Structure 1
Amino acid sequence: MMLLMLLIKVQQTMQEIASEKPLVTVLMPCLNEAETLGTCITKAKNYFLHHDIDGEVLIADNGSTDGSQEIATRLGARIVHIQEKGYGNALRGGIANAEGRYIIIGDADDSYDFSDLTLFINKLLEGYELVMGNRFKGGIKKGAMPPLHRYLGNPVLTWIGRLFFPSPCGDFHCGLRGFRKDAIESLNLRTTGMEFASEMVVKASLYKMQIAEVPTILYPDGRNRSPHLRSWRDGWRHLRFLLLFSPRWLFLYPGMILMIAGLLTAIILLSGTKVHSLIYSTTAIVIGFQTVVFSIFTKAFAMAEGLIPDDYRLKKLLHFLNLEKGLICGIFLIFMGFMGSLYALKMWESNSFGFLNPSQTMRIVIPSVTCLALGFQVIFSSFFLSILALKRS
C-alpha cells in the first residue's frame, strides 16, 4: 500500500514537471523571412541548450508565403498564425500565445544576436518588468542602420518620447527587448503597426513599471530584399502616437500659450490705436481656450477607457469644476457679452444709427463677441465632460 502511494506521488510530480511552462519565450514576428529565420531560431535554441534554460521559440507568422513556416516547423519552433497584418498585430498575437513567464522579442532578420540573451534574462530575473536594448550604447555595425534612422529618425523620436513621458529609455525603437508577460499584458496594448514599439515603452513608463536598459549590438540584416519598414510612413506613425498619447504637449501647452499671448496682446491693443488687430488677439484667446479644453476631453476619455493611468489632479479638478459651475460660468460670460453688445447698440442708437468711430466701438464689440463665444464654449464643454464622466460598465 505504501509503495502504491509512493508511485502515485511520483507520477503526480512527474506530471507537474511535464506541465510546467517554459521560463523564457523568444518571440519573433515573421513575414517572409525564409533567408534568415532558420539562423535566428538555431541561435536561440542553442542559447537555451548551452545555458540550461527552459525556453521555447515562438514564431508569430503574419502570412508568410516563402516557406518560413516550414523552416520554423523543421527546426522545432512553435508557430502561431496571425491573420491581421501588421507588426503590432503579430506581436500582440504572439504575446497572447507565449507560454514563457518572460518573453524576449526580436526581429527575424538576423540583425540581433539571439545567441547572447544573458543581459536581458539577468535583468528580468532581478525583477525588472521591461528590459530594453539600446543600440546606441551597444554599437551599430556598418550598414546596419540607414543614416536617416541613425542620426535623425531614432534620436529625434526618442528625444520627443522622453520629453513627453517620464521614460529612462534611450532607444525607443530597439527591436530586441524582454519583459514579464503578465506585466505587459496588463498594459492592454492596442496599436497594430510599427508604433507598437513606442506604445509598449510609453505605457510601461506611464504605469511606472520597473524598466532597465542593456547595450545591444545591431548587425546588418541577412536579407537580400528591402525591409518592411518604411521610413517616413512608419516614422510619422510613431510621432503621431506620441502626440496622441500626450494631450499636454498636443493640446494643453499650445492652448495655454495662445490664450496668454492673446490676452496680453488684447490688453495692449485696448489701450492703443490699432484696434483692428484686436480681432486676431481675441481669436487667439478663443482658439487657445478650445485647445485647452480638448486636452481635458482627451485625457478624461483616455482615463475612462483605461488607456492611461488615472490622474488624480485632473479628477479633483473635474470634481470641483462640475456641470453646474460650468453652466454658471458660461451664463455669466454670455451675460457680459450680451451687455457689452447692448451698450454698443445704444452707442449706435445715440448716433442715429449713422457713422461710428471704429476705434471706439470695436473696443466694445470685439471683447463682447469674445465673451459670447467663450460662454457658449464653456456651457457645451461642461455638458460634454459630464457625458464623459457618466458611469458605465
Structure 2
Amino acid sequence: MTPRPFTIVIPTRNEAETIVEMVRCCLKYAPEVLVVDSLSTDGTPQLAEHAGARVLSVPLLGKGNAIRAAIPALATEWVLFIDADGSHDVADIPKLIAPLQAGVADHVQASRLMGGSSELHGSFQEFWRLAGSAFITACINWRCGARISDSQNGFRALRVDVLKALDLREAITTIEQEMVIKTLRRGFRLVEVPSHEHARIFGESKIRLSRVWFRYGYALMRYLFG
C-alpha cells in the first residue's frame, strides 16, 4: 500500500540563511511544505516560496501563534512540525510519521534525551534550558502517569484531527508542552522516537529564558491542573 501524503509545517521568523535548504530537504519526504512566517524582515517568505513551499504569513509573533494559524490550512490526514534552523534531522521524518501511518499512535514526538543533543550543553543558558525541560517533563510524567523523556522538542508529528481536538491556546514555544499535556490528559496515544538535535546552523536561539521562564511555569500549572 502506498503511504498517504502528509504536510510538513515549518514555523519561521528571519530564517533566510536556512529556509531554502530546509524546504528542499523536506520536499523529499512530503508533497507539501507549509512555511508559516511571523513577521520576517529578511526575505524568508519569498525564499521559501521560491524553493517550493506554500507560505502563510501571520501578523503575530510567537511559535504558538504560527502553529495555531497552520491548523485550518491543513488538508492532509497527518502533519509534521519541524524547526527552520537546521537543528532537527530531516532524515528522521519517516521515523516520526511511521507510527501514525501504522495506526499505533496519535502523536509522535522526537526525543533529544533518547537521541542526544549537540545544543543543550556547554553554557549556563543551555544548562538551564535542559534543567527546566527535565523538570517540566518530570511534572508531566507524575501528573499524567506517563514515562516520556522530552516534552519540549519542536520536532513532532500528529494526526490532524487530534491536533484540532487539542484546542491549542499558547502563543509562544510553550505550545510544545501544551500539546504533550493535552495529548496525555485526553487519552490520545503519545509515542517517542529518538532523534539527534544538532546545533542550529546559523545564528542563536530566539528563546530567552530570562524573559519567558514564568510563562513556562504558568502554562505547566494551567494545563496539568486546569
Q: What's the TM-score, normalizing by structure 1?
A: 0.53
Amino acid at match of 2:70: G
Name the CA shift for 1:144/1:111 in 2 (closer, same or farther; >3 Å).
farther
Once residues 95 and 169 of structure 1 are traced to their aligned partners in structure 2, the CA distance between those partners, rounded to angstroms, is: 25
Tell me what 1:45 maps to: 27
Count of matched residue positions in the alignment of Structure 1 and Structure 2: 218
Letter in 1 for 2:129: H
Aligned-residue offset at 1:144: 5.2
Q: Match for residue 81 of structure 1?
A: 57
Q: How far off is 1:87 after superposition?
A: 1.1
Structure 1 or 2: more helix by fraction? 1
Q: Establish whether residue 227 from structure 1 lines up as the match of residue 209 from structure 2.
A: no
Partner residue, 1:28 = 10
Provide the residue aligned with 2:110 in structure 1: 133
Conserved in 1, the CA contact under 8 Å of 2:182 and 2:223? no
Structure 2 residue 71 is matched with structure 1 residue 91: no
CA RMSD of superposed structures (Å) = 1.6
Determine the C-alpha separation between the residues in 2 that align with 1:103 and 1:175.
13
Unaligned runs of 5+ residues in structure 1 are: 1-21, 49-54, 248-298, 300-393
Q: Return the offset for 1:79.
A: 0.5
Q: How does 1:91-170 map to 2 (within 5 A)?
A: 91-127=67-103, 128-141=105-118, 143=119, 145=121, 146-150=126-130, 152-170=131-149
- Map Cα deviations across residues 269-325 of structure 1 (whole Å, 9 max, x no partner): xxxxxxxxxxxxxxxxxxxxxxxxxxxxxx5xxxxxxxxxxxxxxxxxxxxxxxxxx
Q: Whose RCO is larger (CA < 8 A, sep 6+)?
A: 2
Shift, 1:235, TM fit: 3.0
Following superposition of structure 1 onto structure 2, how do residues 1-393 of structure 1 map, counting pairs within 5 Å?
23-48=5-30, 55-127=31-103, 128-141=105-118, 143=119, 145=121, 146-150=126-130, 152-224=131-203, 226-247=204-225
Report which of the two structures shows the higher radius of gyration computed on alpha carbons: 1
Task: Say whether the 8 Å CA contact 1:166–1:206 is kept in structure 2.
Answer: no
Aligned counterparts of 1:121 and 1:36: Cα–Cα separation in 2:
23
Q: Matches of 1:108 and 1:217 in 2, distance apart?
A: 15
Structure with more strand by fraction: 2
Q: CA deviation at 1:200?
A: 0.6
Return the offset for 1:130.
Answer: 0.2
Deviation at 1:56, TM superposition (A): 0.7
Aligned letter for 1:44? C
Contact 2:140/2:224, CA 8 A, preserved across alignment = no
Q: State the distance in 2 between where 1:186 and 1:155 align.
A: 27
Contact 1:194 1:237 in 2 (8 A): no
1:46 and 1:25 map into 2 onto residues whose CA distance is: 12
Aligned partners of 1:56 and 1:100 also within 8 Å: no
Contact kept? 2:133, 2:151, Cα under 8 Å: yes
Shift of 1:182: 0.9
The residue that corresponds to 1:330 in the other structure is none
Quote how far apart the aligned CAs of 1:67 are: 0.8
Note the alpha carbon deviations across 1:20-60, whole angstroms, 9 max, x for none.
xx721110100000011112111111234xxxxxx310001
* Other structure's SS at 1:109 match: coil
Tell me if the contact between 1:154 and 1:171 (Cα under 8 Å) persists in the aligned partners.
Answer: yes
Q: Is the 8 A contact 1:132 1:169 kept in 2?
A: no
Separation (CA, whole Å) in 2 of partners of 1:149 and 1:216: 18
Give the Cα–Cα distance (whole angstroms) in 1 for the partners of residues 38 and 217 of structure 2: 25
Q: Is the 8 A contact 1:44 1:115 kept in 2?
A: no
CA displacement 1:237-281 (0-9 Å, x = unmatched): 12211112334xxxxxxxxxxxxxxxxxxxxxxxxxxxxxxxxxx
Whole-angstrom distance in 1 between the partners of 2:211 and 2:147 = 26
The question of whether the paired residues in 2 share the 8 Å contact of 1:158 and 1:170 is answered with yes
Task: Give the aligned partner of residue 391 of structure 1.
Answer: none
SS at 1:175's partner residue? coil
CA contact (8 A) 2:79 2:158 kept: yes
* Structure 2 letter corresponding to 1:185: K
Q: Is this contact kept in 2: 1:154–1:172, CA < 8 A?
A: yes
User: What is the one-letter code of the residue matched to 1:96?
Assistant: P
Give distance in 2, aligned partners of 1:56 and 1:196. 23
Inter-partner Cα distance in structure 2 for 1:167 and 1:230: 29
